[in-house]
Amino acid sequence: MFGFCSRPRNVAGTHAARRTGHCLSKASLLVLALGLSGRALATDLAHDWCPRPPSGRVVAEPEDLRSQNGVLRVDLTLHDFREKDGSVRDCYLLHDGSQSPTLRLHPGDLLILHLTDRLVGYETAVGGANVLPGQRAPGAGAPAPAMNMTMHMQPASSDPCTRGAMSAAATNIHFHGLTVPPVCHEDDVLKTSILPGDPPFEYRFRIPTNEAPGLYWYHPHIHGFSEAAVLGGASGALIIEGIERANPAVAGLPERVLIIRDQDLINPKAPPSKSEPVVPKLFIDHDGDSANNGTGFGLPAKDLSVNFVPVPYPDYPPARIMMRPGERQLWRVLNASAITYLNLAVLFRGAPQQLGIVGIDGVPLHYGGSPAPPIVWVDHIGLPPAGRAEFIVDGPPLGVPALLVTRTVDTGPGGENDPNRTLASIIARSDASEPQSVLPSHPKPLPPPTQPWLGDVQPVRVRKLYFSEKLQNPHDPTSAVEFYLTVDGQTPKPFDPNSPMPNIVVKQGEVEDWIIENRSPELHDFHIHQLHFELVAWNGVPVHEPFLRDTVNVPYYSSRMLTYPSVRLRMDFRDPNTVGTFLFHCHLLDHEDAGMMGTIRVEPAAAAAPAPPNDTKRNHVRR
């Protein structure tokens, strides 16, 4: 009998008890769930559902799926596959076998997405602290060939909308960055839980007519299992068309979607490349990942890939991006990593080039009345996990060696190691094929905003929240770490998915300032669902960065500091689509899975009539 009621790892060395159903044999459950005979089951498990390109390949773009006559219909199946080394890949598959399509819709379009869960639910934990990715914990034993999984099944008749089952075989979708209501079949992840054996689950919503044009994304958001799914590759881009309407400077440009993902190390035991200038001492953090060593070199916490072309440690063989010499393109880059920070640069003969940022986190810089310039030229772009940047790149001249790289990020003494590394060679060739999508040449400008710029609105109140971490045994530095995101005045505790009480209650129509402190020795990556915010101060000092984001770094604390580092955010609850209960959390997904998350309930505006049904609530036109 398989150890079927085993629990998911929550943080290294700890386990969270989330038992939500009967504990049957894994094989019998899978047969029930998938309707497979024993022989078919074995075939299903052996099939490589999620093939990935080898390193060094030319970067292919994900398939574009475009709305037609205002509707985009998509059928996705989510599979997982475990390789011989025990690592697990996850993939959203189309019928044609292609993975992670880019969903392209216009504001006002209807998305009808049917999602079928075909996850086996391979166990994601190796258990025990101080375990390198790809290694087994001492005493954990060899992985079973294909059935070492964790799965908690609800009776098949239960409603995925209210099931709430969080298990390795469960899934749902978060449409990251979209301002669509947090309700079932739209963008709820608190209760929605789809299981193998369920009929295709329908997501159905209209893109708000006032949704900003830009790069969004989709990924599973099952509490306790987010990191494993996203590390496995369950993610894809979603583009709201019309960025050229907000910024005519990009009209007519070829556009290229680049998705940087992280994954468990392919060569975890390899020594650093001989070409590295230092050989840093290897430290392992509380999550079992390679810890920040402060040198910019050494074993990374995770490997990276570019549109699934892996760029593995230690030599980082670059993927290849082909461009016509000197061609100007719009690059739409998503950091779909679970825990890895990026600091992107484009180098010609080693010299950083100017990159023209036109959008961050799905929103054009100059949007919604923002006083920001439409383009900001920089020579590097920091991108936390889940962050997006859309920027203008000029291709290298013929014969000039060029690279897309990520530079090291100082994640703090408690953070993971995100060293310098190459991602891709950019190769100029006059016969290079064009990207598969080109922005329209003669855009109609967007209408002007109908409400004040967020930065000009006085907040009705200020709240303070803080990230903190605690050793389970303060006298044992090797004991597991607990992760909290706490509203000041409340008691720090991990996120409780069964708590009926939200941590924060606001009214729709309000604007608040949130001061987010970091009381821990590592970077955290604040994200809130359903809305965007403006960064207004950094460590108490006002900043002039008048554009919108949905993710932001919160700098780390060291004991030499007199105060806790912080960011101050102007939070926008004016959109009626924010009404409902949803999440805010750290987007380092191991932290989120471990409980660094809270809930907010946005109530209908005080003077408003009774809440309209969802169909009329959607698509509130404010311009």
Distance CA 182, CA 580 (A): 6
Looking at beta carbons only, is 402 or 600 nearer to Cu ion? 600
Looking at beta carbons only, is 346 or 515 nearer to Cu ion? 515
Buried b (16+ CB within 10 A) or exposed e, 247-263: beebbebbbbbbbbbbb
Place of tokens 């606001």: 506
Structure token pair of residue 107: 């504001």
Whole-number minimum distance, CB 420 to Cu ion, in Å?
A: 22
- Residue 199: which of 317, 116, 318 has the closest Cα? 116
What angle do the packed helices 26-34 and 38-46 form, to 10 degrees?
Answer: 90
Cβ neighbors of 122 (< 8 A, separation 6 or more) are: 80, 82, 88, 148, 149, 168
User: Cβ distance 420 to 526 under 8 Å?
Assistant: no
Distance CA 299, CA 292 (A): 9
Question: Per-residue string for binding with Cu ion, 573-592, x by CB under 5 A?
Answer: -------------x-x--x-
Whole-number minimum distance, CB 518 to Cu ion, in Å?
A: 9
Helix intervals (H) in 492-588:
none
Looking at beta carbons only, is 196 or 415 nearer to Cu ion? 415
Looking at beta carbons only, is 4 or 526 nearer to Cu ion? 526
Buried b (16+ CB within 10 A) or exposed e, 64-75: ebebeeeebebe
Q: Is 195 in the site for Cu ion (CB under 5 A)?
A: no
SS3 244: helix
**Secondary structure letter of residue 15 according to DSSP:** B
Whole-number minimum distance, CB 63 to Cu ion, in Å?
A: 33
Whole-number minimum distance, CB 553 to Cu ion, in Å?
A: 10
Distance CA 189, CA 305 (A): 27
- Distance from first CA to last CA of the chain, Å, rounded? 61
Question: Per-residue string for binding with Cu ion, 206-225, x by CB under 5 A?
Answer: --------------------
Whole-number minimum distance, CB 188 to Cu ion, in Å?
A: 23
Whole-number minimum distance, CB 414 to Cu ion, in Å?
A: 10
Whole-number minimum distance, CB 336 to Cu ion, in Å?
A: 17
Looking at beta carbons only, is 132 or 588 nearer to Cu ion? 588
User: Cβ distance 449 to 501 under 8 Å?
Assistant: no
Looking at beta carbons only, is 388 or 524 nearer to Cu ion? 524
Could you tell me how many residues of this chain bind Cu ion (CB under 5 A)? Answer: 4
SS3 194: strand
Whole-number minimum distance, CB 542 to Cu ion, in Å?
A: 25
Place of tokens 């939070």: 571
Question: Per-residue string for binding with Cu ion, 232-261, x by CB under 5 A?
Answer: ------------------------------
Whole-number minimum distance, CB 485 to Cu ion, in Å?
A: 8
Site for Cu ion in 521-550 (CB under 5 A): 524
Looking at beta carbons only, is 323 or 588 nearer to Cu ion? 588
Looking at beta carbons only, is 390 or 525 nearer to Cu ion? 525
- Residue 18: which of 132, 115, 209, 150 has the closest Cα? 150
Question: Per-residue string for binding with Cu ion, 480-519, x by CB under 5 A?
Answer: ----------------------------------------
Whole-number minimum distance, CB 519 to Cu ion, in Å?
A: 12
Question: Per-residue string for binding with Cu ion, 103-142, x by CB under 5 A?
Answer: ----------------------------------------
Looking at beta carbons only, is 219 or 591 nearer to Cu ion? 591
Looking at beta carbons only, is 404 or 586 nearer to Cu ion? 586
Whole-number minimum distance, CB 590 to Cu ion, in Å?
A: 8
Whole-number minimum distance, CB 596 to Cu ion, in Å?
A: 5
Looking at beta carbons only, is 311 or 554 nearer to Cu ion? 554
Distance CA 289, CA 265 (A): 10
Distance CA 233, CA 308 (A): 8
Structure token pair of residue 202: 């329908």
Distance CA 593, CA 590 (A): 5
- Residue 455: which of 339, 555, 542 has the closest Cα? 542
Whole-number minimum distance, CB 129 to Cu ion, in Å?
A: 18
* CA atoms within a 13 Å half-sphere pointing along the CA-CB vector of 256: 23
Buried b (16+ CB within 10 A) or exposed e, 591-617: bbbbbbbbbbbbbbbeeeeeeeebeeb
Looking at beta carbons only, is 49 or 556 nearer to Cu ion? 556
Whole-number minimum distance, CB 558 to Cu ion, in Å?
A: 16
CA 285 remoteness from chain centre:
22
Handedness of CA 327, 333, 337, 343 (dihedral sign): positive
Phi and psi (nearest 5°) for 467?
A: -85, 135
Distance CA 364, CA 372 (A): 9
Looking at beta carbons only, is 201 or 557 nearer to Cu ion? 557
Question: Per-residue string for binding with Cu ion, 284-323, x by CB under 5 A?
Answer: ----------------------------------------
Q: Which residue is nearest to Cu ion (CB)?
A: 586
Looking at beta carbons only, is 160 or 415 nearer to Cu ion? 415
Whole-number minimum distance, CB 586 to Cu ion, in Å?
A: 3
* CA atoms within a 13 Å half-sphere pointing along the CA-CB vector of 235: 29
Residues lying near Cu ion in the complex (CB under 5 A) are found at 524, 586, 588, 591
